[in-house]
Structure 1
Amino acid sequence: MTDLHYDVRGSGPVLLVVPGGAGHPMGFDPMTDVLADRFTVVTYDPLGLAHGRLGEPVGDQRVEEWSDGARRVLDEVLAEGDSAYVLGTSSGGIAVLDLLARHPERLHHVVAHEPPCVGVLPDGARQQAMFQEVYDTYRAAGLQAAAARLGAGLTGQEPEEQERRPVGQPLSRDQELAKPMALFLAHVLRQFSSYRPELASLTAASARLTLAAGSDSRGQLLHRTAEFLAERTGSRFVEFPGGHVGVAEHPVAFAERLAKTLVPVGD
């Protein structure tokens, strides 16, 4: 059983935060600083990248492993019989959907922000092929070329034929292990975007679930995915400030929207 890596700050009801990418909570401090006035904020670091493990070997990741780790964190920080509020962003959003489907009794309210589980969409196979192309670009031409292809795919911009020939150099193994974004492209993106959430279980827990997307993401792939999941499960859909990385773009406004979504005024 792997070690758990997480940080705790603040006081109040427990709010578990599961970051996206490869799980490194970089850029989350300004948001969690605001939330710590109202919640005991527990920020989970699935791979321990912010806890001394950046640079160590990483294998292909599984949604269920992140979900199990998050459940074990809750077991450590929650009193018996208590439940937690949860935020998951991007790949972390997929992990918290799995957590809710399997352990709804431990969760009071879950916000999944732009989870890239695109397989649920009518054109899901095409979108998963796009993520495969991002991975292939990363392996052939490195981080910058793959990030450009990913950005185009998320915004719905299909590259011209000449732009499909990526330019750049692949990273060495040591370089990859030192970069959280590279670890995400190598070991998380395909595995998590191919995950199919348990729609029946999420529907049964829909009163505890909010799907979220950035207002700047309107018309883009992950905004559409979040809206579709909300409709399919009967869950609430809420727009948050910014785009896919609204946590970093507008941390204070994002925190305020999250708090009001988790604990509506009057509750």
Structure 2
Amino acid sequence: MEFNPTSASVETEGCDLHFWYQGTGPLLIMIPGGGGIGRQFNLLFEHLDEQFTVCTYDRRQTNASKVNENKLMNPAQQARDIIAIVTALGRQKTSIFANSGGGIIAFQFAISYPEFLDHVIAHETPTTSLLDNSTYRLDRAFQLVDTYRKHGVRAAFQAFMGEMKGYQDYVPAEVLSQEDAENFWENEYLVFTIYCPELRKIVENGVSIAVAAGLASEDAFYAVTTIHQSEILNCPRFIFPSHHSGYEAEPAAFAEKLLAALEHMEQKRQLT
């Protein structure tokens, strides 16, 4: 159906966490990456809501989910935020689709709270410590933070986007506010870039998990990370349409691939 979600909020750990949902069936929570604005997934709702109750949210201290004082992002706390949403919706389990840095939160959730999970798909999660050139990526991360501190948000994003692939002539549907962009560079970017949850613990937990990369992302570092993730997790690696923001660029095709991936994972789980 057309995008017409129900909006709600839940108070958790000092944050009025705003979320919205639409559809019927099992719960599917979509975790946004850097900047934390859930509306980047809105174009997917109408393509998923016949199979799932689709839900997304503004991560804490972004957009509508305000806190009294912004702090360095804590993946453990962000994982607990998902439990707050699941509980508020009266559910016991959820599947998760997470993009970019949101995948760090999804991995952490799979480590800490596997009992709440049906399936997890992490799309282009930047676990740079797994890369062959991890030392370069570590230096690069701190260089970009220095650029932000010396020259501001615009300069940092310009340098950052220089490493993104498949974005030629692409105009994003959603743009971060100045406040959310500053919070990204001040409190999120380094955590998302250099923190890698212990993926082997996810295997021990028996979580149904997969990773995905965008077709147009080619050999961008955040796509190459998914190869290493799939090897450690011993899980499927799907190729989704378009680039890092394929859910906005090609929402219908992206949703079709996402549904097929979740169906594949469910069939595999039923056979085990």
Q: What TM-score, normalized to structure 1?
A: 0.83
Q: Deviations over 1:13-69 (max 9, x none)?
A: 100111111211233211122212221112132225342639x75222121121111
Distance change (3 Å), C-alpha of 1:265 and 1:211: closer
Q: Is the 8 A contact 2:164 2:217 kept in 1?
A: no
Q: Deviations over 1:152-191 (max 9, x none)?
A: 3455xxxxxxxxxxxxxxxxxxxx9743233212210101
Q: Is the 8 A contact 2:242 2:250 kept in 1?
A: yes
1:59 to 66, 71, 74: 71
- Return the alpha-carbon distance in structure 1 between the equivalents of residues 266 and 153 of structure 2: 47
Aligned partner of residue 28 in structure 2, secondary structure: strand
Match of 1:116 in 2: 126
Percent identity, aligned pairs only? 25
The letter of the residue matching 1:15 is L
Match of 1:89 in 2: 99
Match of 1:39 in 2: 52
- Return the alpha-carbon distance in structure 2 between the equivalents of residues 97 and 115 of structure 1: 9
Distance change (3 Å), C-alpha of 1:135 and 1:206: farther
- Counterparts of 1:13-24 in structure 2 under 5 Å? 13-24=26-37
Q: Is the 8 A contact 2:18 2:64 kept in 1?
A: yes
Pairwise CA distance, 1:265: 9.4
- Return the alpha-carbon distance in structure 2 between the equivalents of residues 10 and 49 of structure 1: 25
- Return the alpha-carbon distance in structure 1 between the equivalents of residues 29 and 39 of structure 2: 16
Which deviates the most, 194-203 or 222-231?
194-203
Q: What TM-score, normalized to structure 2?
A: 0.82
Aligned partner of residue 248 in structure 1, secondary structure: helix
- Return the alpha-carbon distance in structure 2 between the equivalents of residues 262 and 146 of structure 1: 36
The letter of the residue matching 1:232 is I
Distance change (3 Å), C-alpha of 1:52 and 1:116: closer
Match of 1:76 in 2: 88
Pairwise CA distance, 1:210: 0.6
Match of 1:163 in 2: none
Pairwise CA distance, 1:260: 1.1
- Size of the alignment, in residue pairs? 244
- Return the alpha-carbon distance in structure 2 between the equivalents of residues 266 and 237 of structure 1: 15
Match of 1:133 in 2: 143
1:11 to 15, 20, 24: 24
Distance change (3 Å), C-alpha of 1:112 and 1:243: same
Pairwise CA distance, 1:77: 2.2
Distance change (3 Å), C-alpha of 1:46 and 1:120: same
Pairwise CA distance, 1:266: 8.7
After superposing on structure 2, the runs of 4+ consecutive aligned residues of structure 1 that deviate more than 6 Å are none
Q: Is the 8 A contact 1:63 1:98 kept in 2?
A: yes
Q: Is the 8 A contact 1:118 1:124 kept in 2?
A: yes
Aligned partner of residue 21 in structure 2, secondary structure: strand
- Return the alpha-carbon distance in structure 2 between the equivalents of residues 116 and 144 of structure 1: 21
- Counterparts of 1:110-259 in structure 2 under 5 Å? 110-154=120-164, 178-205=178-205, 208-259=208-259
- Counterparts of 1:96-115 in structure 2 under 5 Å? 96-115=106-125
Match of 1:158 in 2: none
